[in-house]
Amino acid sequence: MNKENPKKKVTSIAIKLNSSFVRKLFAKFLIIDIFILIVIVGYYLKIQEVNYYGEFISNAERVTDFFPIETATYTVTWDDGKTMVKDISSFLLILKQIFIKIIGFQGILIIYEIIFGTSKIRKKLKPLDDIAETASRLSELAFNEEKVQSLEEAISKISPVVSNEKISTGDSELHGLEVAINNLLDRMRESYRQQARFVSDASHELRTPISVIQGYANMLDRWGKEDEKVLDESINAIKSEAENMKNLVEQLLFLARGANGKTKLSYKKFILNNMIQEVVEESKMIDKNHIYTYENSENIEVYGDEAFLKQTIRILIENAMKYTGKGEVIKLKTGINEKGEPYFAVQDNGIGMEEEEVTHIFERFYRADTVRDRKEGGTGLGLSIAKWIIDNHNGYFSVLSRKDIGTRITVYLPMLSKERE
């Protein structure tokens, strides 16, 4: 009797899981985009009718000519003979540019999952691969064909995404394998949930600037042509939100490139103190609302990518700036701990965090209710980027924070080895 290769079965499962996730991701993006498009266009056209006629009449005759977009018009004829012909080309062109960026970002996420999703799932399934090979050997030695068939049927019936489904054949001899497979499934499901949450969070973050741009576009259309103040305010707001979208996409791409190994670090020896001093001087010039102090020690030589480590210290300083009051002190320090590890630290006396919030601050898009309030700005990705940089330097973070007292974040780097000295 021919037996299926366990490794091929694991690969097949990985492809199936990734295909399912990509299809759901594409469907989700498609539904969201269509819904947003219908709502925005419908609301805009309704506003045009109300501005022209004074109220919205549901039984009026409406004709919309969307194509070509450059000459698109919207025509409404009411029972009393009034007719409105509205040029909607400029609105549609702005909407088109916004959706091109959104669809492009969504396309990047889908392509990323298509290319790398299967390999990521296969890594997660590696223990299952080993279990399958062990099960195959054990079946030849101890299990009869019926037991192996029973285990295969139990595996085929479960869903890889339903959290409460477990493999159970009722056979005591298979109990150990069942426990191992169920534990593996739990880890797979957690990974799936994290991916789904990341996509959901990214979509949510993009929804806010899109809504702001749409709101100001409406205001421009209604009053901006005559009111110079409204025109300036709308243009500045649209530029600001477009910049926010650009920063968000760039940070997401940075993390995506880092995850698939496309971001390369250039390691070299340099003096840590000099780098920190440069960033402190930059911060003093940019930020006049805080006082910066730097506790300098003897020159500390480290081995790493200076540009990326400088990006990390800037991220920590920007966070300290957001949550520290005007006129308060932000302290920086460098040194070597008792293990011989070089470190740099940023300390503020801002609003601080609760203990349970500290464990989540490096998660993507995480914002605690009081500590990472949206009104302070930012994308919620800065500390995730900083963690990726330090992880790739084989370093680690230490975070000490107290509510209403302040926060100190320390970055420890590996000790300079003899080979690199």
For tokens 């995730």, the residue is: 384
Domain that holds residue 207: 6-259
Q: Taking Cα atoms as reference points, which of 29, 57, 25 lies closest to residue 161?
A: 25
Same domain, 388 and 405: yes
pLDDT given at position 371? 42
Tell me the β-bridge partners of 346.
Answer: 332, 409
Name the pairing type of β-strands 342-348 and 406-412.
antiparallel
Same domain, 37 and 151: yes
pLDDT given at position 141? 45
Instruction: Tell me if 78 is assigned to some domain.
Output: yes
pLDDT given at position 244? 66
Q: Taking Cα atoms as reference points, which of 378, 219, 244, 221 lies closest to residue 314?
A: 378
Same domain, 87 and 208: yes
Same domain, 232 and 89: yes
The residue type at 243: E
Instruction: Tell me if 1 is assigned to some domain.
Output: no
Same domain, 122 and 45: yes
For tokens 């003897």, the residue is: 298
Domain count across the chain = 2
| Cβ count near 354 (within 10 Å) | 13
- DSSP one-letter string for 273-315: HHHHHHHHHHHHHH--SSEEEEE--S--EEEE-HHHHHHHHHH
Helix axes 175-219, 145-157, angle to 10 degrees: 10
Same domain, 180 and 326: no
Report the alpha-carbon distance of residue 268 to residue 262 in Å, rounded.
19
Q: Taking Cα atoms as reference points, which of 278, 307, 309 lies closest to residue 292?
A: 278
Instruction: Tell me if 421 is assigned to some domain.
Output: no
323, 315 in Cβ contact below 8 A?
A: no
Boundary residue ending a domain (259, 277, 292): 259
pLDDT given at position 299? 87
Specify the CATH number for the domain of residue 274.
Answer: 3.30.565.10
Q: Give the pLDDT means over successive 10-residue stretches in the chain (421 positions).
A: 53 75 84 86 84 82 83 85 84 84 84 78 70 61 60 70 68 71 77 66 65 75 69 76 70 67 82 92 90 88 90 89 89 92 92 82 63 51 85 92 90 73 51
pLDDT given at position 372? 42
pLDDT given at position 403? 87
What tokens does 69 get? 């977009």
253, 108 in Cβ contact below 8 A?
A: yes
Same domain, 238 and 299: no
- pTM value surpassing 0.75: no
What tokens does 253 get? 């791409």
Residues with Cβ within 8 Å of 130's Cβ and at least 6 positions away in sequence, in order, are none
Report the alpha-carbon distance of residue 256 to residue 112 in Å, rounded.
8
What tokens does 329 get? 């002190």
Report the alpha-carbon distance of residue 329 to residue 349 in Å, rounded.
7
Boundary residue ending a domain (259, 293, 322): 259
Q: Which alpha helices (H) appear in 173-227, and where do they start and end? A: 175-219
